[in-house]
Amino acid sequence: MTYECILTAVQGEGERKTGLITLNRPKQLNALNDQLMDELGQALLAFDADDSIGCIVLTGSERAFAAGADIPTMAPHNFMSAFKSGLISKNWETILQVRKPVIAAVAGFALGGGCELAMMCDFIIAADTAKFGQPEIKLGIIPGAGGTQRLPRAVGKSKAMDMLLTARMMDAAEAERGGLVSRVVAADKLLEEALAAADQINGFSAPSVALIKELVNLAYQGPLIDGVNVERRYFHALFGTDDQREGMDAFINKRKPAFKHR
């Protein structure tokens, strides 16, 4: 498959590998247009369907993860044309269908739709150069891909209101303090660290990985009691897998487990 707005590669030495997707519209700071979002969706679904892939890493350039949705594409719309065409909606949530972990490796700007895309990933590893923001208010609009909902869940109401209402950016250190990102690393080590995290996940049993992702998303999105109940069912269900027997036998016999992902 050839893409024009993204690059894809397979990384890693282990039995299960990592699908790497790099946003690649450097002149526009990776502004997210329709073609890019279509290609991103296709690449994500292709890696998700590939049994040799355990994890996906999504990254941008040194200067920008993504500076938001493409402003010139949005500019000419009025209410009716935006509403009737479902302006930039159809391909924005493909990433939420992916069942394997998606790690965002963010350097430089992650603004507007770029910040929202990073927040739709499962966790964010940030370079010390990363800058997060939801500056839509400066354009006379509001976030449209979950920014007003996911940002307060990630950093709390006060910081989210501050960022959304003043359009100020948050640097990597503040993003880590606020809980938006899981770790901050030197910019020149960003990809290495993200791929190492992916590699670590790739070594674990795929059913455990997929169920943890689903359950954490349930905790993030839904009522506590529903999540706890589903967790109990899935916990029991994993006792029907070969990997549970292998994992526990390996621990008891002090050896490394050889997971078969079933």
Distances (CA, A) of 244 to 58, 204, 256: 30, 11, 13
Is 176 an active-site residue? no
- Please tell me whether residue 130 binds ligand DAK under the rule CB under 6 A: no
182 contacts 154 by C-beta, under 8 angstroms: no
Is 133 an active-site residue? no
- Please tell me whether residue 207 binds ligand DAK under the rule CB under 6 A: no
Is 69 an active-site residue? yes
- Please tell me whether residue 31 binds ligand DAK under the rule CB under 6 A: yes
How many CB atoms are located within 10 Å of the residue 128 CB?
16
- Please tell me whether residue 144 binds ligand DAK under the rule CB under 6 A: yes
Q: 17-23 and 64-66: which strand pairing?
A: unpaired
Is 93 an active-site residue? no
Q: 54 to 83, contacts with ligand DAK by CB under 6 A?
A: 67-72
State in angstroms the smallest separation of the CB of 142 from ligand DAK.
8
151 contacts 134 by C-beta, under 8 angstroms: yes
User: What is the chain's length?
Assistant: 262
* CA neighbor of 74 nearest in space, from 134, 33, 113, 37: 33
- Please tell me whether residue 88 binds ligand DAK under the rule CB under 6 A: yes
Nearer to ligand DAK (CB atom), residue 90 or residue 189: 90
Residues that bind ligand DAK (CB under 6 A): 28-29, 31, 67-72, 88-89, 92, 109, 111-113, 116, 135-136, 139, 144-145
Residues labelled as active-site residues: 69, 113, 116, 136
